[in-house]
Structure 1
Amino acid sequence: MEFKSPIVITTETYYPQEVNWIIALFEAGLERLHLRKPQWDLQQCNALLNAIPVEYHKQIVVHQHHALASKFHLGGIHLREKDRNEIKIDLAGYCRKQQQKGKTVSTSFHQLEPVITKGDYFNYSFLSPVFDSTSKQGYPGKGFNVMNLAQTIVALGGITSTTITQTKALGYTGVAVLGDVWQHSSPLDAYLALQKSWKNQAYEN
């Protein structure tokens, strides 16, 4: 699975004009939005998805309230580490069942070892922190090099228009961004800068 543009992860809580910004990002070429609202209940997530045009639903992945993926015909579900640990018996089978329904299944890792042992179950995996986080204080990057791994791995943590230029050389097939987009006065401008750096890197390689 190759990504032509950076993945965007939503903020955890309320963000002013969030739906308008999300639509603008999709219109600018965003391929994949990860809806991550750990403090929101089902109704709040439902309302947000209702406000996003149907044509973009297939490009959305939910981190919580996975039933929404079927209700809104979303692109996929994301399993947190906690979710993986709760599926103790047959993680591979669970992922396969979701994939047979036409959903992608992604997850998050914070060390290389579990990527090697479990990464094949997923369409793609986030690995973090690759660089010093821009959204979490005191969260230093580990500079993971995944060049020799066969899994589809997405770099997360400290992704900016500068650090993004190092990700292909480290073996990543995609990047996911949070702070560099939502901490900017214009999330759209921030995303366009990231998108340009990502595409330039792909061209240079």
Structure 2
Amino acid sequence: MKLIVISNPTSIPNEVAIINALLDEGLEIFHVRKPGLNMKDTIDFLLGIKTEHREKLVMHDHHSIASKIGTKRIHFSGEKRMYTPEHDLKQWRSKNYTLSTSVHSVEEYSELSPHFHYTFLGPVFESISKPGYKPMHAFDLPEKRNTQIFAIGGITPDKLNDAALSKFDGATLLGTIWQDPDNAIKTFQHARRT
């Protein structure tokens, strides 16, 4: 199963070193979600990530700096997506950007613009990073799809073989990685072997 890791929303000790280690370990896509950082602090944070790994980064905020730091991947939250004209998405795609977003239901997924390459859908299980954020319902995913669907919410290495994940294109790790940063690499390795 293809894995994506999302940054902890707030800073944690040795975070950049852990991110570099995850990418060194073979992580292909890393989402940078730091809602509290302004553009300058975001750039400073990103400059700590090895140059050879920056193309694997996905920017949740400050989309305008993506190409400057070496990536052509941007993410639109559900709210940002609602206020982004279709024309703008088309322009990003015409510049060879990979676009992602987040949805919380199959109905919302069915209304997505065809310009998105993949979306997060969940929570599939009770969230680790947002205690009390429970799964809404089982997801009856469409067989034919233009946009890949990655499960999010409560994903741990032990749940990667759960039947609930069987129709997803991949899974997203957040809380399971950052709840114990000292063991982030071991957790990722365990997930990748599953």
**Is this a same-fold pair by TM over 0.5?**
yes
- Aligned partner of 1:130 in structure 2 is 124
Q: Which residue of 2 aligns with 1:44?
A: 41
Question: Are residues 1:120 and 2:114 paired?
Answer: yes
Amino acid corresponding to residue 106 of structure 2 in structure 1: L
What is the alpha-carbon distance in structure 1 between the residues aligned to residue 177 and residue 191 of structure 2? 9
Question: Offset of 1:115 from its aligned partner?
Answer: 0.5
1:130/1:168 Cα in 2 relative to 1: closer, same or farther (>3 Å)? closer
1:1-205 superposed matches below 5 A? 5-87=2-84, 90-91=85-86, 93-118=87-112, 120-141=114-135, 142-150=137-145, 151-166=147-162, 170-184=166-180, 185-197=182-194
With the length of structure 2 as denominator, give the TM-score of the two structures.
0.92
The superposition leaves residues 69-120 of structure 1 with CA deviations (integer Å, 9 ceiling, x where unpaired) of 1211213000011111212xx42x3222112212100000012112111153
Cα distance between partner residues in 2 of 1:160 and 1:167: 14
CA pair 116-15 structure 1, distance change in 2 beyond 3 A: same
Query: Which segments of 5 or more consecutive residues in structure 2 lack a partner in the other structure?
Result: none
TM-score if structure 1 supplies the norm length?
A: 0.87
RMSD: 1.6
Contact 2:2 2:169 in 1 (8 A): no
Q: For 2:118, give the aligned amino acid.
A: Y
> What percent of counterpart residues are identical?
32
Runs of 4+ more than 6 Å apart: none
Seen in structure 2, the aligned counterparts of structure 1 residues 125 and 50 have a Cα distance that, compared at 3 Å, is: same
Structure 1 unaligned runs (5+)?
Answer: 198-205
Matched residue count: 191
